[in-house]
C-alpha cells in the first residue's frame, strides 16, 4: 500500500501546542530509538516456523543510562500485561536501563538479551554489576506465530546498536509490526510537543505500541470515524461478531513518555497517568483484557547516583503549579502518536492468511469532510 501519511500531514492537528522538529519522542535531546522488524513466511501457522510478523523496539533515554540513570514513574490503567523492572522504579524512582518493547511471549528473551548486551559491552571496573532492564509487550498473536518465539537476542542487540535520533519509522515496525488498533492495522506511533518559552520551553515526546480498541469507539480529533467506516466497507479482524465479543482479544497499549523538563519521580508518575487521557480521546476504555502500561522518564537531572560520593545530590524540579502544561503535552502527544500508528500502518496478512486492513485514508478524508473537518 502506498500513500500512507502521518496525521499532521493529513491536516489533523491535535491541541494547540506545537510539535518538535521530528514530531517524535526523539525530539527530546539524547533520546534514541531503534528497531528490528521481522516479517517472514506466509500461509498456514506452523508453530516455530511462522508466519512471523513481529519485532523489537528499543528506546535509549540517554547515553550511559546505566551509570547516569534518569528519574521515572509508572502508571497502569489496566494490568493485563507485563513490564519488567518496575519494582525498582517504583521503589527508587530511577530508570537504569534502555526500554524495549516486543510481543507478549518474547519479553523474557528481550529482557535477558539486554543484560547480555550490556555485559558484553561493559567497560567499567571489574565485572558488570546488577541490571534490572525494562522490557514490555503487547500481543501480536492474531498475525504472528507468537508461540514460535522468533525474537532472538541478536534482534535485540541490533535494535540497541541501531538506535538513533532524528525522524523514526512508524506503523508496521519493531515491536509494533503485528499489532491491531481499533480493528484496523496498528503498531508503532510517536509524537512530541514543545512548550512555549514562558512555560519553560521543555519538550515532551511520546512513543506508543498501539494494539487495543474496538472499531465502534474510534474517534479521530472528536469525529466518530469508527462508526462511519463499517465492517461492510473495511473488514474487521473480529469478523461480524457481536460488538461485545472479545475476539481476537481486547488488546493492549504501551506508552513511553520522555521529557527534558526536570521532574521528580512522583511528577513523572503524574505525567504517565495523563497518557490515559490521550487514549480515551481516541476511544480506548482500558478493557479487562487490555494491558495499558505507561512509563514516563525525565532527563532533566544528571548524576543522580554517584559511585562513591555520599554528599547530597542537587536536583531541580518543575514546581507543581507549572506542571499542567506538561500534562496537556502528554495527552495531546499520546493522542497524536496513536493516530500516527493508525495512519502509517499498512494492511498486513499474516498467520493462516489472516488479514488486518489499514485505516483507509480516502475514507478517512470523506468522513472528516462529512463532519466539517476537511483534510488535505
C-alpha distances (whole Å) from 140 to each of 104, 176, 302 are 8, 8, 37
In the chain, domain spans = 7-306+313-369
The residue assigned the cell 514516563 is 296
Instruction: Identify the active-site residue in 252, 276, 298, 351.
Output: 252
Please state the separation of Cα 159 from the chain's center in Å: 15
Dihedral sign, CA of 18, 20, 26, 28?
A: negative
Task: Per residue of the chain (376 residues), give pLDDT as tens.
Answer: 458 999 999 999 999 999 999 999 999 999 999 999 999 999 999 999 999 999 999 999 999 999 999 999 999 999 999 999 999 999 999 999 999 999 999 999 999 999 999 999 998 888 998 999 999 999 999 999 999 999 999 999 999 999 999 999 999 999 999 999 999 999 999 999 999 999 999 999 999 999 999 999 999 999 999 999 999 999 999 885 444 444 444 689 999 999 999 999 999 999 999 999 999 999 999 999 999 999 999 999 999 987 777 889 999 999 999 999 999 999 999 999 999 999 999 999 999 999 999 999 999 999 999 999 999 8
| CATH architecture classification, 7-306+313-369 | 4-Layer Sandwich (3.60)
To the query of whether residue 139 is one of the catalytic residues in this protein, the response is no
> In terms of Cα–Cα distance, which of 144, 47, 44 is closest to 352?
44
**257 to 70, 139, 274, 295, 356: CA distances (angstroms):** 12, 21, 10, 6, 28
- Does the model's pTM come out above 0.95? yes
16 is catalytic: no
- Alpha carbons 18 and 284: distance in angstroms, whole number: 24
Active-site annotation holder among 106, 236, 290, 351: 290
> CB-hemisphere CA count at 13 Å for 212?
31
The residue ranges of DSSP E strands in the chain, in sequence order, are: 32-40, 52-60, 70-79, 94-95, 99-103, 134-138, 180-181, 184-185, 187-194, 203-212, 251-259, 291-298, 348-349, 355-356
Q: Is 290 a catalytic residue?
A: yes
Does residue 191 have a cis bond before it (omega within 30 degrees)? no
Active-site hit among 292, 298, 332, 351: 292
| Interacting residues of 243 by C-beta distance below 8 A, sequence separation 6+ | 214, 216
pLDDT tens-digit readout, 181-235: 999 999 999 999 999 999 999 999 999 999 999 999 999 999 999 999 999 999 9
Q: At a CB cut-off of 8 Å and minimum separation 6, what does 110 contact?
A: 56, 100, 102, 135, 151, 156
Amino acid at each position: 500500500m502506498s500513500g500512507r501519511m502521518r496525521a499532521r500531514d493529513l491536516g489533523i492537528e491535535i491541541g494547540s501546542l506545537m510539535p518538535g522538529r521530528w514530531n517524535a519522542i526523539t525530539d527530546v535531546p539524547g533520546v534514541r530509538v531503534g528497531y528490528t522488524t521481522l516479517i517472514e513466511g506466509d500461509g498456514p501457522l506452523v508453530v516455530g516456523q511462522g508466519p512471523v510478523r513481529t519485532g523489537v523496539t528499543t528506546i535509549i533515554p540517554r547515553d550511559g543510562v546505566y551509570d547516569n540513570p534518569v528519574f521515572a514513574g509508572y502508571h497502569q490503567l489496566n494490568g493485563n500485561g507485563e513490564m519488567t523492572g518496575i519494582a525498582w522504579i517504583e521503589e527508587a524512582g530511577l530508570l537504569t536501563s534502555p526500554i524495549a518493547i516486543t510481543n507478549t511471549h518474547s519479553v523474557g528473551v528481550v529482557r535477558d538479551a539486554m543484560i547480555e548486551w550490556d555485559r558484553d559491552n561493559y567497560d567499567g571496573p571489574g565485572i558488570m554489576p546488577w541490571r534490572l532492564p525494562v522490557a514490555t509487550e503487547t500481543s501480536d498473536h492474531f498475525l504472528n506465530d507468537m508461540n514460535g518465539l522468533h525474537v532472538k537476542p541478536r534482534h535485540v542487540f541490533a535494535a540497541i546498536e541501531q538506535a538513533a535520533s532524528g525522524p523514526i519509522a512508524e506503523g508496521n515496525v519493531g515491536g509494533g509490526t503485528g499489532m491491531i488498533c481499533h480493528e484496523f492495522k496498528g503498531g508503532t506511533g510517536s509524537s512530541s510537543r514543545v512548550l512555549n518559552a514562558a512555560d519553560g520551553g521543555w519538550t515532551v515526546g511520546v512513543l506508543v505500541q498501539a494494539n487495543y480498541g474496538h472499531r465502534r469507539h474510534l474517534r479521530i480529533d472528536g469525529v466518530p470515524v469508527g462508526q462511519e467506516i463499517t465492517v461492510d466497507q473495511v473488514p474487521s479482524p473480529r469478523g461480524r461478531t457481536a460488538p461485545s465479543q472479545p475476539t481476537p482479544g481486547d488488546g493492549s497499549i504501551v506508552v513511553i513518555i520522555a521529557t527534558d523538563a526536570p521532574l521528580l519521580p512522583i511528577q513523572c508518575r503524574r505525567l504517565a497517568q495523563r497518557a490515559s487521557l490521550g487514549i480515551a480521546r481516541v476511544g480506548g476504555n482500558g478493557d479487562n483484557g487490555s494491558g495499558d502500561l505507561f512509563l514516563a522518564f525525565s532527563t532533566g537531572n544528571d548524576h543522580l547516583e554517584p559511585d562513591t560520593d555520599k554528599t547530597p545530590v542537587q536536583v531541580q524540579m518543575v514546581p507543581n503549579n507549572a506542571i499542567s502544561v506538561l500534562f496537556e503535552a502528554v495527552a495531546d502527544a499520546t493522542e497524536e502518536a496513536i493516530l500516527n500508528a493508525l495512519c502509517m500502518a499498512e494492511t498486513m496478512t499474516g498467520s493462516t492468511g489472516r488479514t488486518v486492513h489499514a485505516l483507509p485514508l480516502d475514507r478517512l478524508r470523506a468522513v472528516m469532510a462529512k463532519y466539517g473537518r476537511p483534510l488535505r
